[in-house]
């Protein structure tokens, strides 16, 4: 029985290492694919100077690229003491990455709701509650974390096993993030239904489409994470968390790049984009029957009819 247990643990460790390596390939490959768009849309002359949206875009993009480097130690180091500290770093890194993506979602939803202070306050309250619960779960997990039995480490492999109590706290943390994403997705769909369904393929539809893709992919990954934390054995708990973090960062980066891309700004819901004032720019969606106020535009901006749906926002 002991030999079977050790063999199963060794296979699980090998699987986790392979998943981590493949996730890093996806992350860096996507970065190389999207780098030309980043240079053209964010680095070029006349691109926006400082804004909160721009700051969090770069934080999301480059913390994912650089922050996963120490995480590799967790997967491949053989020292139990090193793994302990890097494991805690990995949890903090995941929480920080989630906070960055959450901030970008708040800015995005705030823009869709025409800078509604009510929506902003609601989202901030929900986000603070979610992040507080998640941080509480992570800290409690760290304090009560059970030490590995050393069987895997004795084989010269990294020990990433989680006890049942550890996994329950992490399941709570991921569940709160899923709740926040579901609220943001519901608000996006609500605003889309209020603006009507026959608005063409403009920027508003683009934001809804990207938000739907993000929520669809991440809700599946979050659900798998939660199920693995709660239902699998100790060596398989949280086996795809690294993919959840990577895809969250990639999809948010793609959403931000799509918003800035002038090729996506044609159609009845698109108005002008003032590239000098931020990552989301100034985006105008109008309600039918209301005139759109004039806005500054650059060479890539396109002007739509004045009866397009109304919602001005900057980030």
pLDDT in tens, 95-109: 888 889 999 999 888
pLDDT tens digit sequence for 107-163: 888 888 888 889 999 999 999 988 888 777 777 766 555 555 555 555 555 666 677
Assigned token pair, 268: 């009845």
- Residue 279 pLDDT: 33
Residue 269's closest CA among 171, 178, 199? 199
CB-based contacts of 65: which residues, under 8 Å, 6+ apart? 27, 28, 31
* Average model confidence (pLDDT) across the chain: 74
Has residue 189 got a pLDDT over 80? yes
Instruction: Please check the confidence at residue 315 and state whether its pLDDT lies above 50.
Output: no
**Looking at 150-246, which runs of residues are DSSP E strands?**
none
Note the CATH number of domain 2-266. Answer: 1.20.1070
User: 237 — phi, psi (to 5°)?
Assistant: -65, 130
Give the three-state DSSP class for 281: coil
Cβ 283 vs Cβ 111: under 8 Å = yes
Q: How confident is the model at residue 244 (pLDDT cuts 50, 70, 90)?
A: very high
Highest mean pLDDT out of 32-46, 135-149, 270-284, 301-315: 32-46
pLDDT average, residue stretch 74-103: 78
Structure tokens at 148: 């590995």
Cα 93 to Cα 60: distance, rounded to the nearest angstrom? 11
Q: Which residues pair with 283 in a beta bridge?
A: 313
- Rounded CA-CA distance 126/6 in Å is 43
Burial of residue 99, with CB atoms counted within 10 A of its CB: 0-12 exposed, 13-18 middle, 19 or more buried: middle
pLDDT score, position 154: 55
- 3-state class (DSSP) for residue 31: helix
CA-to-CA distance for 148 and 153, rounded, in angstroms?
Answer: 9
> Worst-scoring range by mean pLDDT, 157-171, 212-226, 268-282?
268-282
Domain extents in the chain: 2-266
**Mean pLDDT, residues 4-24 taken together:** 79
3-class DSSP assignment, residue 272: coil
């Amino acid at each position: 029985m002991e030999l079977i247990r050790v063999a199963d643990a060794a296979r699980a460790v090998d699987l986790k290492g392979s998943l981590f390596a493949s996730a890093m390939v996806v992350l860096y490959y996507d970065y190389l694919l999207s780098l030309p768009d980043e240079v053209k849309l964010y680095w070029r002359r006349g691109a926006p100077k400082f804004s909160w949206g721009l700051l969090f875009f770069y934080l999301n993009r480059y913390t994912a690229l650089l922050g996963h480097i120490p995480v590799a130690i967790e997967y491949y180091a053989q020292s139990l003491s090193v793994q302990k500290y890097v494991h805690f770093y990995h949890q903090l890194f995941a929480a920080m990455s989630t906070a960055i993506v959450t901030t970008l979602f708040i800015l995005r939803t705030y823009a869709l709701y025409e800078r509604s202070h009510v929506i902003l306050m609601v989202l901030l309250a929900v986000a603070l509650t979610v992040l507080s619960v998640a941080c509480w779960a992570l800290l409690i997990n760290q304090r009560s974390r059970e030490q590995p039995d050393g069987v895997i480490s004795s084989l010269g492999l990294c020990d990433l096993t989680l006890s049942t109590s550890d996994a329950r706290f992490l399941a709570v943390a991921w569940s709160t993030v899923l709740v926040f994403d579901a609220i943001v997705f519901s608000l996006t769909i609500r605003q889309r239904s209020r603006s009507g369904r026959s608005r063409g393929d403009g920027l508003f539809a683009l934001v809804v489409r990207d938000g739907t893709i993000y929520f669809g992919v991440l809700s599946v990954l979050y659900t798998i994470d939660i199920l693995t934390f709660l239902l699998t054995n100790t060596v398989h708990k949280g086996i795809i968390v690294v993919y959840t973090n990577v895809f969250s960062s990639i999809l948010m980066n793609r959403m931000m790049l799509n918003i800035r891309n002038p090729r996506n700004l044609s159609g009845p819901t698109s108005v002008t984009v003032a590239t000098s004032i931020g990552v989301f720019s100034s985006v105008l969606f109008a309600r039918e029957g209301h005139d759109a106020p004039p806005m500054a535009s650059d060479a890539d901006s396109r002007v739509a009819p004045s009866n397009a749906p109304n919602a001005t926002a900057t980030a």
